[in-house]
Amino acid sequence: MFILVNLKAYPCDPIDVATAARDVAEASGARIAVSPQAADVARVADTGVETWAQHVSPNAHGSHTGSTLAEAVADNGAEGTLVNHSENRLKLADIDGSVRAAERADLETIVCANNPAQVGAAAALGPDAVAVEPPELIGGDVSVSTADPGIVEDAVAAAEAVDPTVDVFCGAGVSTGEDVTAAGDLGAAGVLLASGVAKADDPEAVLEDLVSGI
């Protein structure tokens, strides 16, 4: 089970979270990664924690002001990237472009989707994983695996029908070890979460609880 902590643009200390994630991963043997803002990728990677970008643009080097190049985040220590998060939606062609850009830079990819139908469409693009995240549950206190377990099961089935090699993650509201256990029981290979760790007074304690569910 892979735990990916998205720091979004929350006013947390990315180094504190990254250090806590690194320590819990080393102590537990769990795979934990942190996804900071682009400006913090190098600093977070320097802590030794597995580091992911929040987004990469669907273009290569050139006159693309404001782009986040896959090659740039890889050069700064990122090992993977999210694509098409609900808060940074892309057109289908751009999702494909971002996945291809990540492949050029040897980055792993998780494409986010709102529902099982979108999971199937995203799986057809050949990412490493697809994450199902109902927008209405993002940032809330109830995990998708509790509020709507059927959507996770349907997402797993949708990806399996298109490409059995694409893993399915679930996100939205994940905050406890019980949520992680429930996600695994429903067939998910990992979880995405943000506020549960990024807004916590003690991120390390939350992470320790999360890995207890693995």
Distance CA 100, CA 1 (A): 25
Tell me how many degrees the CA angle 144-123-190 measures, rounded to the nearest 5.
40
Has 64 been annotated as catalytic?
no
Say whether 85 is catalytic.
yes
Alpha-carbon span 42 to 62, nearest angstrom: 22
The active-site residue out of 50, 61, 71, 85 is 85
CA-to-CA separations, 191 to 43, 118, 153, 167, 206, in angstroms, rounded? 24, 17, 14, 11, 14
State how far the Cα of 191 lies from the Cα of 170, in Å rounded to an integer.
5
Contacts by 90-99, CB closer than 8 A, 24 or more apart: 90/58, 92/121, 93/58, 94/58, 95/58, 95/122, 95/125, 96/58, 96/125, 97/58, 97/59, 98/55, 98/56, 98/57, 98/58, 98/70, 99/125, 99/126, 99/127
Amino acid in position 178 = E
Residue 188 tokens read as: 């998910």
Is residue 53 helix, strand or coil?
strand
Of the candidates 71, 133, 204, 208, the residue annotated as catalytic is: 133
Q: Tell me which residues are annotated as active site.
A: 85, 133
